[in-house]
Structures are given as structure tokens and as C-alpha cells.
């Protein structure tokens, strides 16, 4: 039912093989309506239009498309890198065309985002007739599945709030409405149409996300630090106890190299993910015996945050890693970078940097001793 055509470097046209009835949340062409065409427009990351619907209608006119049969999605993501078309054999036959941007993530009670709007834009077509209830079911289902993908990816706000979407997502559910002798009554997760839609959306988002969310993105979601920021933090801590006669640049390169090696190990990520999960549950107040308020006060009755730190630091470099973790743990209040980190995350960050710095000291001291000999 879906055909795609590239109109320019920043514009993709999706058309249906017939006019469909649709429920749409797009900037232009929203609500219940008939649709034949959908434009996907890439805009600049600093896009600010006082009347975006007028901007979108101008796009429709310039493309020579009928205003009453066209909808428009806007996004700052790379359309050609970040789109996918998937089909389900059914019954009923379903198709999804989706463009993916993961910033800025939306979380409950999060700070106002300052990142460019990438947006997840979804067209789901059903080659069958649907009731209004089924369409609404499907819209709700897509939101729930999207939230599940974000949870599985570990996308977060402020390091401890679980994300459920981006702040500007939009969706179209389109379906046949002419010549109907019956209509699918419901579209929830236990129905055939709902099950297939859920699989399509989950697989489409996860496929594109895994192409775009690399280790550095994951590190940022979990710890609030990029790899470069962790290297800089490691250097600041190293300067508290530098090895004489070693150039700063050489130390920084060594920290970066060891960090890169540590982050190639899945065991490192499992411990980091465990800390992130505990942060999610602590923020939500769903850890039995630990209230939300106690979590934010970094309650002294909780030892598991330090146990995770001990496990990570020992795994990276044995007892040397652990003692370096303890050293950094005592220094944390002297560094601004640690002050806003939640329970669990501050400990694994200290452990990660501590374990890496202990390896740095091993190499530098060994190198110096060999040079002196």
C-alpha cells in the first residue's frame, strides 16, 4: 500500500495506492481524514516557526499535492539514513514507514530539553477496514511499544529518569474504509492486527536505533558522561596524584585507550546497566524498603551502590582498581562532575574511572621503572 519517492535531499513523499481513511497527529493534515499522500520534511535542528502548519501547507503546495489529501511530518533527523519500510503478510496485511530521531528524549518531570528535535514519525497502514475503536487502540498500542523500545535501549533523561518517547513524535494510522462489508472491531495487543503492528513498530525502531545508538550514546544515557567527558574527568582526578615526568598528552591518550578497551567488554556494560536499572527503580520509588525521598538523599542504609562500584573496579583491575575507586569516592565532593549524579551512577562512574586510572598508573610506573633501569 505504501510507495516512497525522493523529491529532494530533504524531502520524501509517501503515497498510498488508494485514498485511505486515517487518524493523524501530524503538524499538517491531522485528525480523522482521508489521505493519499504524506510528506516527510527534514528541517534544520534550530527550526523555529511561529506557524508551522503554514510552513507545512506551503510544502504541500510546492510539491503540487492536494491540500485535503496530504499530511506532513517534520523532523531534524537524517531522512535517508534513518528511515525504514517494513511489511507484514497478515492477515490483515500491514505496512510501516518510519523515520527515527532519538533526541530529545521525553521523561516524566524532566528538565526542558535543549537538544534538536529528531522525532519518531510513524505511518502504519492496514489493508482492511477498521472501526474507530480499533484505530484508537492502535494509536495507543504504538505509544506503548515505543516506550518498551526506549526502555530496552536504556534511553534516559538526567541519568535516572526512564524515557518513553521523544518530545515531538507523531503518528498516522491509515486503513481502508470503502467497500467495507465488515470492520475489525478492536486493535489491542491481543488482536491479530495489534500483534502484527506491535512487532512491526518494535522491530523498525530497534533496527534503526541500534544503527544510531553506539557505545558513546549508551554511555551518556547511563552515566551522563560521553567518553570524552570521562577522559577529561579522569585527567582532573589524575592531576591530584600525577606520575612525575610524564607529559599530560601521553596520559590523556592512555586513559582514552584503556577506556576504549574496557568499554568493549560486555561485562562492563552489564554492571553499568545494573546501576542504571537501580536508578530507574529508585527514582520511581519501586525498590521495597527504599522510598523515593531516601533514594534522592542517598540513604546510608543502601550498600548495593557501593557493591556495584566494588564489583566494577575489581573486575577492571583487581584490588588496585578497588582501592583507586575508594580514593576517588573520598574525593567526589571536590569535583563538580559528581555533584548531580544520582545514587548508583556516582559509584559506577567513580569505579569506572578508578579502575581505568589504576591501569594507567600500572603502565606509567612500569614504563618509568624500565626507563630508569
User: Is 134 in the same domain as 230?
Assistant: no
User: Is 21 in the same domain as 84?
Assistant: yes
Residue 257: pLDDT over 70: yes
Condensed to tens digits (0 to 9), the pLDDT of residues 23-59 reads 999 999 999 999 999 999 999 888 888 899 999 999 9
List, in sequence order, every residue forming a beta bridge with 157; answer none if it has no partner.
161
User: Is 249 in the same domain as 150?
Assistant: no
Q: Which residues contact 230 (CB under 8 A, 6 or more apart)?
A: 219, 223, 259, 349, 352, 353
Q: How many domains is the chain partitioned into structurally?
A: 2
Q: Whole-angstrom Cα distance, residue 338 to residue 335?
A: 6
User: Is 229 in the same domain as 259?
Assistant: yes
Condensed to tens digits (0 to 9), the pLDDT of residues 133-165 reads 999 999 999 999 999 999 999 998 887 889 999
Contact (Cβ atoms closer than 8 angstroms) between residue 255 and residue 248: no
Helix axes 345-372, 266-284, angle to 10 degrees: 150
Domain boundary among 190, 212, 234: 212
Domain boundary among 212, 228, 249: 212
> Which residue is listed with cell 482492511?
128
pTM of the entire predicted model: 0.88
User: Is 157 in the same domain as 300?
Assistant: no
User: Is 229 in the same domain as 193?
Assistant: no
User: Is 114 in the same domain as 243?
Assistant: no
CA-CA-CA-CA torsion sign (115, 335, 234, 353): negative
For position 336, which CATH number holds? 1.10.3760.10
* Runs of H (alpha helix) within 332-344: 336-339
User: Is 207 in the same domain as 223?
Assistant: no
Condensed to tens digits (0 to 9), the pLDDT of residues 240-249 reads 999 988 899 9
Under the banding of pLDDT at 50, 70 and 90, the label for residue 89 is confident
For position 55, which CATH number holds? 3.60.70
Domain hosting 298: range is 216-372
Residue 284: pLDDT over 80: yes
Q: At residue 62, what are phi and psi to the nearest 5 degrees?
A: -65, -30
User: Is 272 in the same domain as 349?
Assistant: yes
3-state secondary structure of 364: helix
User: Is 267 in the same domain as 355?
Assistant: yes
Residue 348 is placed in which grid cell? 559506577
List, in sequence order, every residue forming a beta bridge with 121; answer none if it has no partner.
99, 170
Going by C-alpha positions, the residue among 345, 339, 338 that lies closest to residue 279 is 345
Amino acid at each position: 500500500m505504501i510507495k516512497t519517492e525522493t523529491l529532494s535531499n530533504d524531502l520524501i513523499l509517501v503515497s498510498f495506492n488508494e485514498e485511505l481513511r486515517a487518524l493523524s497527529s501530524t503538524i499538517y493534515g491531522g485528525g480523522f481524514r482521508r489521505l493519499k499522500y504524506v510528506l516527510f520534511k527534514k528541517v534544520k535542528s534550530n527550526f523555529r516557526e511561529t506557524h508551522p502548519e503554514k510552513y507545512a501547507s506551503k510544502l504541500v503546495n510546492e510539491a503540487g499535492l492536494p491540500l485535503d489529501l496530504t499530511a506532513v511530518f517534520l523532523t531534524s533527523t537524517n531522512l535517508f539514513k534513518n528511515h525504514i519500510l517494513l511489511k507484514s503478510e497478515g492477515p490483515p496485511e500491514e505496512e510501516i514507514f518510519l523515520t527515527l530521531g532519538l533526541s530529545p528524549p521525553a521523561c516524566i518531570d524532566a528538565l526542558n530539553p535543549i537538544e534538536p528535535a529528531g522525532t519518531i514519525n510513524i505511518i502504519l497502514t492496514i489493508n482492511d477496514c477498521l472501526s474507530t475503536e480499533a484505530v484508537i487502540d492502535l494509536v495507543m498500542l504504538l505509544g506503548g511499544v515505543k516506550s518498551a523500545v526506549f526502555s530496552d535501549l536504556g534511553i534516559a533523561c538526567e541519568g535516572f529518569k526512564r524515557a518513553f518517547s521523544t518530545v515531538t513524535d507523531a503518528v498516522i494510522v491509515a486503513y481502508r474504509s470503502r467497500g467495507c462489508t465488515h470492520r475489525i472491531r478492536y486493535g489491542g495487543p491481543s488482536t491479530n492486527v495489534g500483534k502484527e503492528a506491535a512487532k512491526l513498530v518494535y522491530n523498525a525502531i530497534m533496527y534503526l536505533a541500534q544503527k544510531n545508538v553506539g557505545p558513546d550514546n549508551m554511555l551518556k544515557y547511563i552515566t551522563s558522561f560521553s567518553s570524552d567527558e570521562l577522559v577529561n574527568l579522569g585527567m582532573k582526578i589524575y592531576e591530584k596524584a600525577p606520575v612525575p615526568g610524564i607529559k599530560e598528552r601521553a596520559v590523556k591518550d592512555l586513559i582514552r585507550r584503556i577506556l576504549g578497551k574496557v568499554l568493549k567488554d560486555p561485562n562492563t556494560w552489564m554492571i553499568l546497566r545494573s546501576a542504571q536499572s537501580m536508578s530507574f527503580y529508585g527514582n520511581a520509588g519501586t525498590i521495597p524498603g527504599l522510598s523515593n525521598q531516601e533514594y534522592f538523599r542517598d540513604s546510608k542504609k543502601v550498600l548495593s551502590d557501593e557493591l556495584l562500584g566494588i564489583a566494577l573496579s575489581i573486575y577492571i583491575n583487581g584490588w588496585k582498581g578497588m582501592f583507586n575507586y575508594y580514593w576517588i569516592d573520598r574525593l567526589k565532593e571536590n569535583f563538580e562532575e559528581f555533584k548531580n549524579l544520582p545514587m548508583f551512577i556516582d559509584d559506577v562512574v567513580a569505579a569506572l574511572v578508578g579502575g581505568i586510572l589504576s591501569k594507567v598508573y600500572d603502565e606509567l610506573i612500569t614504563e618509568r621503572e624500565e626507563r630508569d633501569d
